[in-house]
């Protein structure tokens, strides 16, 4: 079972999460700046991650390279998402970028796996919440860094269960 993690990161937090995920599942992690069509398509499970910037936008390398994602053949493929954000400073746009990625991959016909509960977070609004759940793994390394390891481990076992053997 091969896992590819494609991430964007300004400050390194999301890159660090991608590395953590990679080590735990013996996968590959690729910066969206360097990603090719093969990186999106040649794996059993694709994981995409972005921090949120502005007041609810994708990280700039994702914005600059969004055509790579839009050109990927993801119809019928299982995709999992993670987002990094700060619920205290940005309670009205917490991990919005994960919701933006969700809409992009759903548009491509992908099946998103790995929704998570919103309990344990304190925010007002998020584009990444659909029907009461996060569409992926929401991480706040700014104000809840102590919960990261536990959240990553639980989520990874959840999404790997969906991936083909």
Binding residues (CB under 6 A) for ligand FMN: these are 9-15, 51-56, 84-86, 90, 93-96, 141-142
Longest CA–CA span in the chain (Å) reads 41
**Measured from the CB of residue 73, what is the shortest distance to ligand FMN in angstroms?**
27
**Measured from the CB of residue 90, what is the shortest distance to ligand FMN in angstroms?**
3
Q: Which is nearer to ligand FMN, 77 or 84 (CB)?
A: 84
Q: Which is nearer to ligand FMN, 27 or 51 (CB)?
A: 51
**Measured from the CB of residue 9, what is the shortest distance to ligand FMN in angstroms?**
3
* Residue 5 phi, psi dihedral angles, 5° rounding: -110, 120
Query: Which residue number places its CB atom closest to ligand FMN?
Result: 85
Q: Which is nearer to ligand FMN, 56 or 114 (CB)?
A: 56
CA distance 142 to 74: 32
Angle between helices 148-160 and 13-25 (to 10 degrees): 50
CA distance 108 to 72: 8
Residue 73 · residue 30 · CB < 8 Å? no
**Measured from the CB of residue 79, what is the shortest distance to ligand FMN in angstroms?**
20
User: 82 has which bridge partners?
Assistant: 49, 137
Q: Which is nearer to ligand FMN, 38 or 117 (CB)?
A: 117
Is beta strand 45-53 parallel, antiparallel or unpaired with respect to 3-7? parallel
């Amino acid at each position: 079972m091969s896992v590819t993690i494609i991430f964007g990161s300004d400050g390194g937090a999301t890159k660090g999460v991608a590395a953590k995920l990679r080590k735990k599942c013996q996968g590959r992690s690729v910066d969206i700046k360097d990603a090719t069509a093969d990186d999106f398509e040649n794996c059993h499970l694709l994981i995409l991650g972005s921090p949120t910037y502005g007041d609810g936008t994708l990280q700039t390398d994702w914005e600059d390279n969004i055509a790579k994602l839009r050109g990927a053949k993801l119809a019928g493929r299982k995709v999992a998402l993670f987002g990094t954000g700060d619920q205290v400073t940005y309670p009205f746009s917490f991990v919005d970028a994960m919701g933006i990625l969700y809409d992009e991959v759903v548009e491509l016909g992908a099946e998103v796996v790995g929704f998570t509960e919103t309990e344990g977070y304190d925010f007002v609004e998020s584009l990444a919440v659909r029907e009461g759940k996060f569409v992926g793994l929401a991480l706040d390394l700014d104000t809840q860094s102590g919960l990261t390891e536990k959240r990553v481990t639980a989520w990874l076992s959840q999404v790997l269960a969906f991936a083909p053997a």
